Structure 1
Amino acid sequence: MDNSSALPPAAQPLSIMSTAGSQVVLPCSWKPHQAEVGPSSCHVQWVSPPFTVFEQNSEDKWQQERFDGRLEVPTVKLQAGDCSLIIKDAQIEDTGRYESFMVVGGARSMKTRVFIQSVKLSVTDNKSWDSHHPGEDFVLELHTRLSFTVVFQGRNNSAWQELWKRGDENSERVEKHPVLEQLTIKKLRRSDEGIYKVLNENGLSVSTVQLSVTENSPSFSAHRKQENVPTGEAAKSSCSALLIVSLLVLSFQIHRH
């Protein structure tokens, strides 16, 4: 294949941002280049210079091993002019520049590439803040099947400790959901307050969660007490007081008449 086609000097990449674990679409449309690629072209190539990461010719597909089945260009859309690359379960390592080409020509030795689109992809970790009360359960999103370990740094501690690693058995307090990419930390304590980091196998951050574990405020507790309905002896006293007031009012009305 002739790979000598030069990129247009004024071609500026589109900037796309995503977070780890999300699905991202790198835009591509060959319709504006129809005169160059033909009326129904279906041979697309995506390159992250200098390597080809995905190629599809009709039903024949190939993708770079590290993407592990995460790349797709739907055939029906491709034939209609949409050569956009779908990246499933985006990873931090997917960050980079991507260029799309339509491959045209007859015999393999005569094939050439027509440049379509350049995209600059940036994949960042997920950042969030959460708050719970002692005794509650905390559900930590792992975001992706490629999350490998969870580390924890306590509020007053500079050291990081490993909390969970993929393949670990569930423990009394830490449980991996059997289907979803979620980790549940049960019956929170004040000592569980701090920073939780989800890392992939290469040690890159998938997510960072700041967890606060706080007691109910005194004002909140007092408000809840005021809402309580009297029971037992308190209820009886309230009923007796109401009965006495009712009798006094009735007696006053009789004397008035």
Structure 2
Amino acid sequence: MAAGRSASLCWSLLSACVLLVSADTNITAEHGETVTLPCRAPNKETICVVEWGRSDLWPEYVLFYRPAGIDPDYQHPSFVNRVDLQDRQMKDGDVSVVIQNVTIDDTGRYECRVVKCRRAQRLQIPNVHSDPISVVYLRVAPPEPKTITAEPGQTVTLPCRAPNNNLIVVDWSRTDLDPEYMFLYRDGHFDADNQHPSFKNRVELQDRQMKDGDVSVILKDVTTADSGKYECRIKEKGTSRAVLGSEPISTITLRVVARTGQVGRSNDGEDEDDGSAGLTAGLSVCAGLLVVVAAVVGLLIYRYKKQSQASDMQPV
């Protein structure tokens, strides 16, 4: 009987472990999508604390929920107003979270933890320190590159949007240049010292307040030398990730095409012809030659007809 009770107890403990620890889940999403990270807790007791975290962030909380509701004071700034419980009633222990407008910076390993109310009374919130009951790895694919076509002299906008405006670095760069920065903003100031000379006094933020994460830039008086691939990167407050080591959140290919006979400008500031002016001049010369040839042929034909008429009028 004792052996039977021991076996039953072991089986119960094993079942509890199965309920508490779920297998890792892998989710792949596209830039800008809304995703759900699943997590389900046993519902035998009332849940007082729900914690979703990423250990590579500081603060690490993606979502921190307690009886009063979601607490943004412990939440990482990049997730404020973007993350919510799928079911705030947590019916049947559902503590899954929904993340809106995901970007590649949301890629990472997410851990879900819960604390029952009876245990929460003995803990110092928010120091939960419990084992995760669900682990989800989220991978967000980079956005599709965009192509913008313009003519020399025009003003263009290169679009880029971050998850929010809690930013300490905004970097627009072209890797084929040295220095590669087209625009660099950090610690609340525009950094002109590291900007490529060809962009001096021609680039600015579309919205200096970066409202809703708008870090698009305006490039004035574009030239053919501005053609290339531009990458937008950001660094958010609370992240240790280096900007140039991160994936771009926006990639724009700019094509500046000169009209026929229009002169562009090279990277060193010198004028460069797109070749159409020489082609036009060549065509003009050819057209002139054709006119001369046509005139000579016409004159020869005229003289031949006059001679024929004179011969016919002579007496036999």
Confirm or deny a common fold (TM above 0.5).
yes
Q: 1:200 deviation in Å?
A: 2.0
* Aligned 1:1-257 pairs, distance under 5 A: 6=17, 11-19=23-31, 22=32, 24-28=34-38, 30=40, 36-38=42-44, 41=47, 43-48=49-54, 53=61, 54-59=63-68, 61-62=70-71, 67-68=76-77, 70-71=79-80, 74=84, 77-81=87-91, 83-87=95-99, 90=102, 92-107=104-119, 108-109=121-122, 117-134=134-151, 135-144=153-162, 145=165, 146=167, 148-153=170-175, 157=176, 159-166=178-185, 167-168=189-190, 172-178=201-207, 179=211, 180-201=214-235, 202-203=242-243, 204=246, 205-216=248-259
- Radius of gyration: which is bigger? 2
1:104–1:112: 8 Å Cα contact kept in structure 2? Answer: no
1:42–1:79: 8 Å Cα contact kept in structure 2? Answer: no
Q: 1:173 deviation in Å?
A: 2.3
Give the TM-score normalised by structure 2: 0.51
Alignment partners' CA distance in 2, 1:50 and 1:115: 16
Higher relative contact order (Cα pairs below 8 Å, separated by 6+ residues): 1
Q: Which amino acid aligns with 1:131?
A: I
Give the TM-score normalised by structure 1: 0.60
- SS of alignment partner, residue 126 of structure 1: coil
Q: CA RMSD in A?
A: 4.1
Q: Which amino acid aligns with 1:106?
A: R
Alignment partners' CA distance in 1, 2:48 and 2:38: 13
Q: Which amino acid aligns with 1:177?
A: Q
What is the number of equivalent residue pairs in this alignment? 205
2:110–2:137: 8 Å Cα contact kept in structure 1? Answer: yes
Alignment partners' CA distance in 2, 1:38 and 1:112: 21
Alignment partners' CA distance in 2, 1:160 and 1:169: 13
Q: In the superposition, relative to structure 1, how do residues 95 and 196 fare at CA in structure 2: closer, same or farther (>3 Å)? A: same
Larger proportion of strand: 1
Alignment partners' CA distance in 2, 1:176 and 1:37: 50
Q: In the superposition, relative to structure 1, how do residues 49 and 189 fare at CA in structure 2: closer, same or farther (>3 Å)? A: closer
Alignment partners' CA distance in 1, 2:44 and 2:131: 11
- SS of alignment partner, residue 11 of structure 1: coil
